[in-house]
Amino acid sequence: MLRVGILGCGTIAAKVCDSLKGNKKVVVEGVASRERAKAKKFAAAHCPDAKVFSGYEKLAASDDIDLIYIATPNTYHYEHTIMCIKEYKNVLIEKPFAMSKAEVDSIFFEAKNRGVFVAEAMWTSYLPLHLKALEWINKGRIGAVKYVSANLGYDIANVPRLNSPVLGGGSYLDLGVYTTNFALSFMGNDIKVARVFARRLSSGIDRDTTYSMESEDGSILGNFYVTMCADTDKDGVIVGERGKIKLTNINNYRKIAVYSPDDTLLEEIDAEKDYNHGYVYEFESCADAISKGLIQAPEMPWARTIRIAQINDTIRSMM
Ligand SMILES: NC(=O)c1ccc[n+]([C@@H]2O[C@H](COP(=O)([O-])OP(=O)(O)OC[C@H]3O[C@@H](n4cnc5c(N)ncnc54)[C@H](OP(=O)(O)O)[C@@H]3O)[C@@H](O)[C@H]2O)c1
């Protein structure tokens, strides 16, 4: 059983704890907040058997924890992750993994030196329908990929964290990292940013961002948009020379379907009924990898996190 410690008792941490209830591979063993009363209340509501830690440092130093899940705001991921790695703790870090490629490199340097497992909680990469879509591509169901597009938008402009430059807010860092991971998954690793158009507030926060990517050899074009101001359809499409794959909700796949070039449906797969529990897959992947002595998750290897960070740096510099 992998004993998980939750670092930061916020919104996503609560969802994760609810999802992990009764899991056979992973147990929430401890929760840490900057305030003891908050950790106690959080544990009572979401993981009553977990130990309560007052302060993140105590969780990082605890011998009862195998893996720490970093669920703090974006600008704190680096500092909290390094603290855990220095205590030889395995770490699963919420997206965006860090604020720059320089921070990403530093985290992996420290983790490699200590032989500590580290993975990015890019939860979509671990979902069964994501892996099935990759399998369809690799088996040549639609031939060579020509065009990829996806959008991701929620009406969440009132969330304080997203409006704060100090906490790493904005639509790209919150949602664009998913569309960029989608691009890397289905366009391949050798892609570059071609165009960026971001609409920014006076604080510098991007409320929506549209961007295009192109494969280095020019054979694949990708178009993406993300927004924190509206609920979009969240759909993705991968067009190949012999058909297309349509993905319903790229942030929590509900359905994937493969079509012939004339739009005849060839096969479709629905998500399992409990798709809201999709967070379990990333934790189960960590449990499996750590039990095998690995320091990377196969579904989200360090090279992918590094590429996302490189692209994030480029897109943010082009806004
Ligand atoms: N995978 C997903 O689907 C998903 C969804 C939403 C968010 N996320 C990611 O998860 C991370 C947390 O997002 P969230 O929506 O859960 O945020 P949140 O509700 O604001 O919670 C963040 C927690 O971080 C801690 N924290 C430490 N320093 C803080 C500071 N200076 N200001 C505010 N909070 C601070 C707080 O916990 P304590 O008070 O207990 O110390 C707070 O409850 C972000 O990186 C976000 O991108 C992922």
pLDDT digits (tens, 9 = 90+) for 305-317: 999 999 999 999 9
What is the rounded distance in angstroms from the CA atom of residue 239 to the CA atom of residue 135? 15
Q: Tell me what pLDDT residue 275 has.
A: 64
User: How large is the average pLDDT for residues 67-83?
Assistant: 98
**Residue 286 and residue 262 in one domain:** no
- The pLDDT > 70 percentage for the chain reads 99
What is the rounded distance in angstroms from the CA atom of residue 297 to the CA atom of residue 270? 25
As for ligand 1, residues whose beta carbon falls within 6 Å of it are 8-13, 33-34, 38, 71-74, 76, 94-95, 121, 123, 161, 167, 174
Closest CA to 316 of 154, 198, 202: 198
**Residue 262 and residue 185 in one domain:** yes
Helices marked H in 150-224: 171, 177-187
What is the rounded distance in angstroms from the CA atom of residue 211 to the CA atom of residue 209? 7
What is the rounded distance in angstroms from the CA atom of residue 90 to the CA atom of residue 293? 11
Backbone angles phi, psi at 235, to 5 degrees: -90, 160
Cis bond upstream, residue 96 (ω within 30)? yes
CATH number for the domain including 174? Answer: 3.30.360.10
**Residue 217 and residue 250 in one domain:** yes
Is the separation of the CB atoms in 42 and 33 below 8 Å?
A: yes
Res. 261 pLDDT band, cuts 50 70 90: very high
Backbone angles phi, psi at 69, to 5 degrees: -100, 115
Kindly give the number of the ligand 1 atom that is closest to the alpha carbon of 42: 40
Res. 272 pLDDT band, cuts 50 70 90: confident
**Residue 20 and residue 53 in one domain:** yes
Q: Tell me what pLDDT residue 225 has.
A: 98
What is the rounded distance in angstroms from the CA atom of residue 91 to the CA atom of residue 246? 33
**Residue 245 and residue 290 in one domain:** no
**Residue 264 and residue 148 in one domain:** yes
- Does residue 16 lie in a domain region? yes
- Does residue 319 lie in a domain region? no
What is residue 50's three-state secondary structure? Answer: coil
Is the separation of the CB atoms in 193 and 118 below 8 Å?
A: no
CATH number for the domain including 6? Answer: 3.40.50.720
Span 141-198, pLDDT tens digits: 999 999 999 999 999 999 999 999 999 999 999 999 999 999 999 999 999 999 999 9
- Does residue 49 lie in a domain region? yes
pLDDT at 278 over 90: no
What is residue 200's three-state secondary structure? Answer: strand
Per-residue DSSP letter, 275: G
Res. 277 pLDDT band, cuts 50 70 90: confident
Identify any residues that bridge with 155 across adjacent strands, giving them in sequence order.
Answer: 229
What is the rounded distance in angstroms from the CA atom of residue 90 to the CA atom of residue 308? 21
Q: Tell me what pLDDT residue 149 has.
A: 98
- Does residue 315 lie in a domain region? no
CA dist list (Å): 58 to 50, 64, 308: 14, 11, 31
Is the separation of the CB atoms in 144 and 241 below 8 Å?
A: yes
Span 283-305, pLDDT tens digits: 999 999 999 999 999 999 999 99
**Residue 270 and residue 176 in one domain:** yes
> How do strand 51-54 and strand 26-33 relate by DSSP bridges?
parallel
Per-residue DSSP letter, 21: T
Domain that holds residue 196: 128-274
Is the separation of the CB atoms in 191 and 216 below 8 Å?
A: yes
Q: Measure 307 CA to ligand 1 centroid, in angstroms.
A: 24
Quote the tokens at residue 125.
């990469």
Span 3-20, pLDDT tens digits: 999 999 999 999 999 999
Q: Tell me what pLDDT residue 257 has.
A: 98
Q: Measure 10 CA to ligand 1 centroid, in angstroms.
A: 5
> Number of folded domains in the chain?
2
**Residue 96 and residue 50 in one domain:** yes
Span 92-127, pLDDT tens digits: 999 999 999 999 999 999 999 999 999 999 999 999
Kindly give the number of the ligand 1 atom that is closest to the alpha carbon of 160: 20
- Nearest protein Cα to ligand 1, atom 15: 11
Per-residue DSSP letter, 65: -
Dihedral sign from CA coordinates of 60, 61, 65, 67: positive
**Residue 237 and residue 162 in one domain:** yes
Q: Tell me what pLDDT residue 132 has.
A: 96
- Does residue 318 lie in a domain region? no
What is the rounded distance in angstroms from the CA atom of residue 78 to the CA atom of residue 57? 14
**Residue 171 and residue 228 in one domain:** yes
**Residue 134 and residue 252 in one domain:** yes
Q: Measure 28 CA to ligand 1 centroid, in angstroms.
A: 17
Q: Tell me what pLDDT residue 57 has.
A: 98
Closest CA to 22 of 274, 311, 304: 274
Res. 274 pLDDT band, cuts 50 70 90: low
Is the separation of the CB atoms in 92 and 69 below 8 Å?
A: yes
Span 217-245, pLDDT tens digits: 999 999 999 999 999 999 999 999 999 99
